[in-house]
A and B are shown apart, each in its own frame.
Chain A
Amino acid sequence: MKLFVTRIGATVGATFLLAGPATPQADSLITDSTNLYGAPGLIDLPTAEVAPDANLSFTVSHFKNTTRNTLTFQITPRLTGSFRYSAILGYQPGNATLYDRSFDLRYRIWDEKGLRPALSFGLQDFMGTGIYAAEYFVATKTITPRLRVTAGVGWGRLGSANSIGSPFGTRPPLNFGEGGKPNYDQWFRGPMSAFGGISWQATEKLLLKAEYSSDAYAAETTRGLIERKSSWNFGAEYQLRKGVKLAGYYLYGKEAGIQLSFALNPRVSTVPSGNETAPLPVAPRPSRSSNSAAWSTDWTGDPTVQPGIQTATAKALAKDGILLKSMSLQPARAEVRIENRRYMSQPQAIGRTARVLTRALPASVETFVITSTVGDLPTSSVTLRRSDIEALENAPATAMLARAQISDAAGRPAYALTPTEGLEPRLTWSLAPYVTVSLFDPDSPLRGDFGLRARAKYRIAPGFELSGGIHKKLVGNLDSAKRLSDSTLPHVRSDFGLYDQQGDPALEHLTLAWYARPGKNLYSRITVGYLEQMYGGISGEVLWKPVDSRLALGAEVNIVRQRDFDQLLGFRDYDVVMGQASAYYTFNNGFSGQLDVGRYLAGDWGTTVSLNREFANGWKIGAYATFTTASATDFGEGSFDKGIRLSIPISALTGTPSRTTSQTVLRSLSRDGGAQLNVEGRLYDRVRDSHRPDLEQRWGRFWR
């Protein structure tokens, strides 16, 4: 087999890592290069370029007395959003460091076409203190495949050097208040300047940039923090490896700058189909004419048949991380209730179950009803014809979707289900390290604790879960937060420093929860006990969610009392009745929204608006804002609660199948206005995975 060996040697070096599935982007003005502000751009200036759709980048940049940490998300192919946390040494009176949060938005108005350049407009640091506030229109044009030229006009910071007039009137002074609100009265007002630059892709990994900046750095130069001798900036950016870039700059004729950026894209994976083992193939039945014995239903009279089949099925499914909770077996129909503990995609669990059933069930069973459960809560039934499974195993997944019936699983099943005994431990527990991070405290912007966390869950009876968690800090400095809350509202969240100091060890939660299906389309939860770090009491929730619907409506009422700072069993003397009515909607373009209206922990009334971009692989990136009757003055810094949420599925990063996601919320320090209760096990997230919109979105993995 000489031939064979040489062929292997010859092709090892061959590169097949092409763009692969990349979305067809006719437009070429896409870049994964970021500027000092962490947004697609030149050095200190924006361009009309966009990052690849859904790209998430984190950029740290530093030059004289200035550090900027920016998270940028390409929200849609045209809309870019950035969140920045910056530090300017010596900016404040007494040479104190200014820590500042800022948000940017940029929108691509039109794409490059023929001779016409791409055009974008942007709002930089458009809320709050406005240290970096600027508005701009910018155009970028491809000259050669390697050379791009940018020119624009800017206001605010970008209109502060070499101004060419104020076409839209004077810029009013900043009406700051408590910050956190859009400064729309300033936008596009005051002096306007022109700026521009070029970027040249010198080699595959090296990008060179030059720009003429219209930012005078007035605030910094008057404080003697930065010297500005020229409007010209020069830079070189080198790609260390895919998604990681290091850049060096020569800024304003005087200063040196350095920047490191990391990019991740939820839509790109090195192992798109995952590393999990193959499913069992479908075992088609012999034809009825060739083997009529196999089709006989004589087995129905034998009481040992179903237990044998059920045990074998349960064992086969357990290998795939699927629990067979119960089963009913009729001559022509079988129903199984399964809990998917492994796959982010519920269709993948259903598809694997269907294939196992083709190997386990007598030939006469033509109808498979596969009911998904979460805990003991049945959430939907997918009914499949066995003949379809046999015929479509090697067809595109959409063909099977077209044949599948998806229905509600409420009420008494048509046939009695026999529970599987002894497969599922009643007690599940874990002991694992944890890290808690606190961001944005002006005294110490990054704090954290590291310790051990133990959790356990016990299933008392169907639908009843007893669950608890404790943690013990090993090292950390969360308890060093010195600022005591000066909030004029009840201190419902702002005493977090005291909780961090005194909760060691802390009882995170200890609850008894009851989940049920009161009727068709209805789900309910009642949770009693120590619900979360700061509150205990009773929490009740009802959710209306038809299985085919993109809309869900819910209501939650909580009667809670504030817990002692030591987070053991005692309570403080603050109690409140609060809760929200919620509407959830999944749009068919990958976005989902949630609207909550009701009463919050401090007794304030108001509403929370959330918008997320969701990906079939489980990634979720979104933002929320809460507006309540607590005034901006009462709320304090930031005026109202808002933040960014990131859900990152471990399976998409590692290729190992898992239902686990890492949840991160980036927000200001906890304040008391618009504060929600953090109770575990809310219904919508339990239910939606197995309902039609999510099943359809993730159906591509049915045969995986």
Chain B
Amino acid sequence: MNFKGIFAAMAALAILAGCGNDPNAGVGAKIAGGYLKGLTGKKAKPQPAVTDPAAYGPLALKAVKGPVMLGVVEKRNAVAILGQKGRNGPYVTWTSLSRQTVTLKHGILTATRGLGDDLMNAEVDSVSALIRTRRAGEANRVMYFLDGESKTYRLVFRCTVSPGQLDKLALGKNRITARRVSEACAADDLSFQNTYWIGSDGWIWQSRQWVSPGVGYLVAQQLRR
């Protein structure tokens, strides 16, 4: 057999790998490709480094009418401008242009969608009561995720809330003095520490909150209320 010929033909065909209006064509190649991609570990193109998220501030204020947030997934060094997409009772869902969403309940993260290892939902009322009133104390939070098999699993974290110092923040056109509050949580072999910056009216202006084992931390800054 002529191997040169095979590779030439494969290269030519790779270009046309699956055309038509049936999404189910050319599966084998896609699977092999997916596995190889997994092996080489080359995931999506490396994101350009975030030099200074604040640089996105003016852009964000211009791009979105009404309330706007900046979201940063630290591990991926990715910034997104978030606008409000939905409100269901106390839950507010914010979306990026690429249709990834985060849902906050009074500023505390309860869900994400489209981040690969999403937080499906969370019960945060007990910790929220401490955090938003800037009181020290202990409380539970329950977080729900999907496992590799796509089944729901739930983690119950024991969290210690401790108020800290006052910080001066510049968020969009706002100059705010906010109380820093930390929330240290642990469950089995997982632990994380969230930080919130809370205005005198109890509003969470800025936060760094843990999402899931795969996503890590999300930083959210509210530029306009």
Contacts and interface: CB of A to CB of B under 8 A. Distances in A.
Interface of A: 1, 3-5, 7-8, 11-12, 14, 16-21, 241, 243-244, 262, 264-284, 321, 341-342, 344-345, 390, 393-398, 425, 427-435, 450, 452, 455, 457, 474-475, 477, 615-617, 619, 648, 650, 652-655, 658-662, 697-698, 700-701, 703-704
Contact of B146 (A270, A430, A662, A704): A704
B113 A278 contact: yes
Contacts of A8: 50, 53, 72, 74, 77, 219
A279 B88 CA distance: 14
A660 B30 contact: yes
Given A280-B86, A475-B9, A432 B148 contact: no
Contacts, number: 251
15 contacts: A4-B54, A20-B214, A265-B148, A270-B117, A273-B146, A276-B114, A277-B113, A278-B100, A394-B88, A430-B19, A430-B20, A435-B28, A450-B6, A661-B27, A700-B152
B124 to A, nearest CB: 10
B75 A12 contact: yes
B194 interface: no
B129 interface: no
B182 interface: no
A650 B31 contact: yes
Nearest to B115: A273
Given A273-B113, A277-B113, 11 more contacts: A4-B52, A14-B75, A270-B116, A270-B214, A281-B88, A344-B150, A474-B9, A654-B30, A655-B116, A659-B24, A703-B120
B67 to A, nearest CB: 15
Given A17-B213, A281-B85, A273 B117 contact: yes
Contacts of B41: 241
B114 A278 contact: yes
For the residues of B in contact with A, the DSSP-based class is mixed
A88 B6 CA distance: 29
Nearest to A425: B21
Nearest to B3: A475
A4 B150 contact: no
A367 B146 CA distance: 28
Nearest to A699: B152
Given A276-B114, A430-B24, A431-B25, A396 B154 contact: yes
Contacts of A265: 148
A395 B110 CA distance: 10
Q: Quick one: which of B24, B91, B154 has the most chain A CB within 10 A?
A: B24
B149 interface: yes
B21 A428 contact: yes
A272 B214 contact: yes
A698 B20 contact: no
B121 A395 contact: yes
Contact of B148 (A14, A276, A345, A617): A617
Contact of B22 (A277, A428, A650): A428
Nearest to B217: A11
Given A1-B54, A394-B103, A429-B20, A21 B34 contact: no
A147 to B, nearest CB: 22
B74 A272 contact: no
A284 B89 contact: yes
Nearest to A662: B31
Interface of B: 1-2, 5-6, 9-10, 13-14, 16-31, 33-35, 37-39, 41, 50-54, 72, 74-75, 77, 85-89, 91, 93, 95, 98-101, 103, 105, 110-111, 113-118, 120-121, 144-154, 167, 170, 189-190, 208, 213-214, 216-217, 219, 221
A277 B99 contact: yes
B145 A345 contact: no
Q: Quick one: which of A241, A265, A658, A662 has the most chain B CB within 10 A?
A: A662
B216 A14 contact: yes
A691 B3 CA distance: 48
Contact of A662 (B10, B27, B74, B88): B27
B74 A269 contact: no
Nearest to A14: B216
Contacts of A429: 20-22
Contacts of A430: 18-22, 24-26
B89 A267 contact: no
For the residues of A in contact with B, the DSSP-based class is loop
B148 A269 contact: yes
A433 B12 CA distance: 10
Contacts of A243: 39
A455 B22 CA distance: 9
Contacts of A398: 152
Given A11-B74, A281-B86, A475-B9, A658 B23 contact: yes
Nearest to B211: A16
A630 B168 CA distance: 85
Given A430-B21, A700-B150, A700-B152, A450 B88 contact: no
Given A430-B21, A662-B31, A16 B216 contact: yes
Q: Which 4 A-B pairs have the closest CB atoms?
A: A281-B86, A430-B25, A430-B20, A278-B113
A1 B56 CA distance: 11
A16 B20 CA distance: 41
Contacts of B28: 434-435, 662
B86 A617 contact: no
Contacts of A662: 27-28, 31
Contacts of A19: 189
A1 B50 contact: no
Nearest to A434: B28
A5 B9 CA distance: 49
A19 B190 CA distance: 9
A125 to B, nearest CB: 29
Contacts of B86: 280-283
Given A275-B114, A278-B114, A703-B120, A433 B13 contact: yes
Contacts of B110: 394
A660 B98 CA distance: 24
A282 B88 contact: yes
A697 B151 CA distance: 8
Given A272-B147, A434-B28, A650-B34, A397 B95 contact: no
A700 B74 contact: no
A394 B13 CA distance: 46
A658 to B, nearest CB: 7
Nearest to B216: A16
Contact of B91 (A345, A393, A619): A393
A537 B150 CA distance: 41
Contact of A394 (B16, B25, B91): B91
Given A284-B88, A653-B31, A662-B31, A277 B21 contact: no
Contact of B20 (A3, A432, A450, A654): A432
Contacts of A17: 213-214
A452 B29 CA distance: 12
A12 B77 contact: yes
A262 B38 CA distance: 12
Contacts of B100: 277-278
A474 B11 CA distance: 13
A316 to B, nearest CB: 13
Contacts of A652: 148
A396 B85 contact: no
B88 A393 contact: yes
Contact of A650 (B2, B6, B10, B30): B30
